[in-house]
Amino acid sequence: MGKRIWAGLSSIFCFFLCFAIIGNSTAMNYATTINGYLGISTHMLVQDDSVGEGSTIQFPSAFGELSADNLKQLMEATYAQCVAEGNEGMVLLRNENRALPLSPEERSVTLFGHAVMQPLYRNNSAGSSAYSSKEGIDLFGAMKEAGFRVNEALLKAYRKSKTSRAGGGVNAQTGEPLPWSLGEEKIGFYTDDLRATWENDYNDAAIVLFAREGGEGIELTMKDTEGISQLALHQDEKDLLRMIRDSGKFKKTIVLLNSGNPMELGWLEEYGVDACLWIGCPGQKGFISVANLLTGAANPSGRLPDTYAANSLSAPASVNNSGNNQTWSNLEEVLKQSTDTPGEASYYAVQAEGIYVGYKYYETRYEDAVLGRFNADSAAGSTNGGKWNYTAEVTYPFGYGLSYTTFEQTLDKVEVSDSAVTVTVTVANTGDTAGKSVVQVYAQTPYGAYEQKNRVEKSAVQLLDFDKTKLLEPGEKQTLTIVCDKYLLASYDYTNLKGYYLSEGDHYVAIGESAHDALNNILALKGASGMVDTAGAPTQGSGDKAFVWQEKQDADRYKASAATGAPVTNRFDDCDLNYWIPGAVTYLSRSDWEGTYPVSPTRVECTDAMIRALNGYLYRKAENAPGLASFTQGANTGMQLAGLYGVAYGEEAIWEEFLNQLTIDELAALLPDMDGNAAIDTIGKPEVKVGDGPDGIGGLYNTYDKSRYKTKSEATCYTCETTLAATFNKELIASRGALMAEEAIYLGLMEIWSPGGNLHRTPFGGRNFEYYSEDAVMNYLCSIPEVRAMEEKGVVAGIKHCAGNDQENNRIGIALFFNEQAFREGALRGFEGALAVAKGSSVMQGFNRLGLTGCSASPALNTAVIRNEWGMQGIIITDATSSVTTGYRASYVDQLMAGTDSFCIDFSGVSAQVVRDRIRDTDDGALLGALRRAAKNNLYCTVNSPAMNGYSVNTKIVSITPWWQPVLRYVIIGFAALTALSLIGLAAAEIKEHGKKRKEADLHVGSKQ
Amino acid sequence: MSAANNKALGTWFSLAAGALGLAALVLYLVWAPGHNALDPVIPWTLAAGILLEGILYFRDISFLGVAATACFSTAFFILLSRSVGTFVDAMQGIVMFGDASQLGIILTLCALMFLSILLSILSCFVKRRK
């Protein structure tokens, strides 16, 4: 072969050699991901009875021994749970003339709306996608199963159509945001031929499915291509509804709302909609519930966990949050001095709404308007520009929901003690259909002179607790006793007392069919007049459904944490923008609605001091910090992790002795997470796997081991968390937690990153579907049973994303400013329930900053509150770090020192490398101490979880090299050999050519001579 | 002019490879520092590849062509490796592991580098001198 061929071949093999070497290095970085996808285990267990006595750890399944048959039973139970959640969580919003349930004769229907062919089972994010498996069911399938005759001609037309709903995201070619698409058909789609299909048939009911989609990193838009909110009714939808109405063919029009976000619904009457059912995101089996509710096989008992505003932009939280985030007025200067990417350093949101999120705004302003005080009826914040009017602002209030029967609730008794308010309510089914009723208990605490002077804000009505009856037959009664925690009546005073206190004066509790109804009952007891009901009709309220008592101001009762006894005081002063720029923000106050309503976003400059704080990386070794010599590391005494099963977190001596066994490298190896972490064979620590997703386990390890269980099914996709909350059924919420934990046991998981504890701060939150509610107390009350149920089975519940990560827009790096009352009573409360009350042993932080400090680097959040006040014993993990090496997410040392224990999706182990290098380079014993703390938290969770199932002190872990790793090495060797051979060939050809040329030259010289 | 006259297709491929490599280098240096994406290996290997392709204009040494391919290939695969998170974000339509908004520029860089590699390989197969 000639030189050129050898040169070309060498080039090609060089190219492939580079590919193999760099590819191998990349693959090693993603080894856990690859192993997960390939289902490869990296260790095996060997029994070695020489170590000592010890029982085998076993977190049992309630379904018996782990077997294929029992897994089937578990899967059936999860499907039944999903249907039960739908039956009890979907909310009937409108039911004119008892349009629902459909009679047995009404079984010939047409399903409208493109979403029929593109249902929103769940939004895009981590979590189970089992809805797409053969076990998943859509609306069409569920209706057929329920015995309906469905107009299939229209379905076929939808199937053929190229119309598609797009939830946003980015263009893979340009990186530009994708134009989202509502995904509804233009009216021209409905040809005469199609219209003829319902002319004489399939017209018992027109069932219209509308969807609204967001997702992880994808906020719903406040102003879309039609110039309106994504939550409003759009032109194609209006045309569709008009066509149905004007056809005059359908006996009934039923609208189904398929979304985790509340739509604006002021149009139902206008388009002649007879019934409207919010179905949330139904998950794998929830469409069966839709059919159940339409036929009356189930009676709706869901209640709204969000306010359905006529105009989603009328909420004060919409002024600064979601799509209205601001960039610093001196952005150029900030970016010049910033160590972050522009996306991480540019945005901020001032939560000027204070505590007034969701119904706390609408209902509080309503009370003040009724009582004619505080300029509540001014035009500020009014949707129509005129006097503020509740009926014009709210379509359906928090807690609202209809039933196919009627109930009468009687407030029997209220008992107030030092620690609790005990409410006894009798519920009677006064209708003709069996059903369940939700008892909602609300409270009002005084907004007096002290509060107004010290800027303590009060919601006019506040959910205190709830319960649900059993299925009550017509005429049947049930008495429920609800013990409400009085702590939830306390307010946080961040200006004067710097702690929680009970106000002086009249305290009210009331029951009601919604927050609005309960407030009307309180107003009735106050003797007020001029109230309106949900529909805007005058009402007197029912004073006999409310109760009043007096309290004296008490600043001592909640001065210390109930969980730990630690003092509760201001920790987040620097998260108030006024701390950095005095007078920069005026928080919304009910003392003057007109003067304090945030009519426009707060714009500020980022001062030099703020830029320094924004840049972070502030940790320096203290002068008096101990050196590494103060610690013993690598002194392996043969203690195995299994031996620490059941050893209390506070048994310091045992834990210290155990930690002394690990080397600094081994300690650091516990920091990075990649849906778990690797085995450490020296201490008998197994490989740990975790799952992700509040509505079903997703991630690398969410399919069952086929060789063991004869199925490779994914874990179940349940209804979205908002639907779960809407059940107002704590038993059902707990059984979700228990069943997910059962699935985790079968999957061999230590932890599930679930539930979600953030607020629906605005209706536009892209991940609202993964969070319970707009109401912080609802989050608190829901997170407790779910987390408790998971933890009782040994599975670590990792609630996310703590705290303030209430929007997807600019979530990475956004600086959030707020006052401490709003933060403690709002964003933190859901996490407080999970960690302080339910004793959850893990929490995932948010990407956002608290003030200017990232959640993960905040000692106030992680150490002062989560550890010291709430007493959390376990793992505090970041959101995905993605192994970044620059920017605020890469401040691994600062984050570790602030209380963070683990770095999520750090696939290449950057966090471990940075921390161990820093420890050694600076001889920093304080940092080593923090690393030991993090290791302890990791190991404590591991040893007390199903990850240890089958382990004893005699279990030895033997590492196994995954098959693909040697294969990749052989590929490198192969290409290296080919490259070397071709280079040798090239060299030989060069020598040959050189010799030939030399010969020719010699001949040339000879001929000349 | 006379120097150019004896150049064959291979030389022009080499020059084109070098020119595209230069374009990639400039684009990378303009873009990467502002987006926390600067990996020093990439500009250095690109520069080395460009230099080698330049030398090939004056001296026809086959090994230099192979080395130039190796340089461009190294830069190319390192860029791909560093951009995995961005590709994942773009495919999933989320913002988490990388920066999907930068996908366009990353793909442009990849295209430039890949063309450099292709031309560099082609230049090795064909004659550089008439």
Q: What is the pLDDT of residue A54?
A: 65
Average pLDDT, chain B: 90
Other Cβ atoms within 10 Å of A723 Cβ, number? 30
pLDDT surpasses 90 at A204: yes
Q: What is the pLDDT of residue A1?
A: 65
Yes or no: say if A11 and B66 are a contact pair by the CB < 8 Å rule: yes
- Read off the amino acid at residue A264: E
| A–B CB contacts, 8 A cutoff, strictly below | 139
Q: Choose the weakest-confidence range: A828-832, A894-898, B59-63, B106-110.
A: B59-63
Contacts of A879 (CB under 8 A, 6+ apart): A800, A801, A805, A844, A845, A846, A847, A856, A904, B96
Higher local confidence (pLDDT), A280 or A884: A280
Q: Choose the weakest-confidence range: A159-163, A185-189, A757-761, B81-85.
A: B81-85
**To which CATH superfamily is domain A356-566 assigned?**
Immunoglobulins (2.60.40.10)
Contacts of A297 (CB under 8 A, 6+ apart): A146, A291
pLDDT surpasses 80 at A1006: no
Alpha-carbon gap: A137 to the closest alpha carbon of chain B (Å): 23
- Measured distance CA(A217)–CA(A130) in Å, rounded: 21
Among the partner residues A170, A811, A887, nearest to B90 by beta-carbon distance: A170
Higher local confidence (pLDDT), A2 or A567: A567
Q: What percent of chain A has pLDDT over 70?
A: 98
Q: What is the 3-state secondary structure (H, E, C) of A530-553?
A: CEECCCCCEECCCHHHEEEEEECC
Q: Measured between alpha carbons, how far is residue B48 from residues B51, B55, B72 in Å?
A: 5, 11, 8
Yes or no: say if A752 and A692 are a contact pair by the CB < 8 Å rule: yes
Chain A residues inside the 8 Å CB shell of B10: 4
Q: Which fold has domain A91-301?
A: Rossmann fold (3.40.50)
pLDDT digits (tens, 9 = 90+) for A872-928: 999 999 999 988 888 999 999 999 999 999 999 998 899 999 999 999 999 999 999
Average pLDDT, chain A: 95
Identify the burial level of A949 via C-beta atoms within 10 angstroms of its C-beta, where 0-12 means exposed, 13-18 middle and 19 or more buried.
middle
Residue A589 host element (H or E):
none
Among the partner residues B34, B78, B85, nearest to A882 by beta-carbon distance: B85
**Sheet strands (E) in A782-925:** 796-802, 815-817, 842-845, 849-850, 853-854, 875-877
Domain boundaries along the sequence of chain A: 3-40+963-1008, 43-56+624-959, 91-301, 356-566
Q: What is the pLDDT of residue B12?
A: 94
CB contact (8 A) between residue A983 and residue B65: no
Q: What is the pLDDT of residue A378?
A: 97
Chain A residues inside the 8 Å CB shell of B91: 172
Residue B105 host element (H or E):
helix B103-125
Q: Which residue has the tokens 């975790």?
A: A690
pLDDT digits (tens, 9 = 90+) for B37-94: 889 999 999 999 999 999 999 988 999 999 999 999 999 999 999 998 888 877 766 6
Please state which CATH number belongs to domain A43-56+624-959.
Answer: 3.20.20.300
Q: What is the pLDDT of residue A515?
A: 98
pLDDT digits (tens, 9 = 90+) for A379-392: 999 999 999 999 99
pLDDT digits (tens, 9 = 90+) for A66-85: 999 999 999 999 999 999 99
Yes or no: say if A342 and A335 are a contact pair by the CB < 8 Å rule: yes
B95: confidence class by pLDDT, cuts 50, 70, 90: low
B130: confidence class by pLDDT, cuts 50, 70, 90: confident
Higher local confidence (pLDDT), A661 or A42: A661
Q: What is the pLDDT of residue A220?
A: 94
Chain A residues inside the 8 Å CB shell of B105: 175
Q: What percent of chain A has pLDDT over 90?
A: 89
- Measured distance CA(A858)–CA(A899) in Å, rounded: 8
Helices B103-125, B9-31: axis angle to 10 degrees equals 160
Residue A407 host element (H or E):
strand A407-416
Angle at the Cα of B30 from the Cα atoms of B27 and B32, rounded to 5 degrees? 95
pLDDT surpasses 60 at A945: yes
Chain B residues inside the 8 Å CB shell of A884: 36
Which residues of B lie inside 8 Å of A (Cβ-Cβ)? Answer: 10, 34-36, 62-63, 65-66, 69-70, 73-74, 76-78, 80-81, 84-85, 89-105, 107, 117, 120-122, 124-127
How many Cα atoms are found within 13 Å in the side-chain-facing hemisphere of A409?
A: 28
Chain B residues inside the 8 Å CB shell of A216: 92, 94, 96
Q: What is the pLDDT of residue B1?
A: 46
Please state the rounded mean pLDDT for residues A562-585.
98
A325: confidence class by pLDDT, cuts 50, 70, 90: very high
Please state the rounded mean pLDDT for residues A144-164.
96
Q: What is the pLDDT of residue A994?
A: 85
Identify the burial level of A434 via C-beta atoms within 10 angstroms of its C-beta, where 0-12 means exposed, 13-18 middle and 19 or more buried.
middle
Residue A689 φ then ψ, to 5°: -120, 145
Q: What is the DSSP string of A630-678?
A: GS--S------GGGGTT--TT-HHHHHHHHTTS-HHHHHTTSB-SSEE-
pLDDT digits (tens, 9 = 90+) for A491-506: 999 999 999 999 999 9
Q: Which two tokens stand for residue A406?
A: 């009627």
B100: confidence class by pLDDT, cuts 50, 70, 90: confident
Q: What is the pLDDT of residue A178?
A: 64
Q: First vs last Cα of chain A: how many Å apart?
A: 34
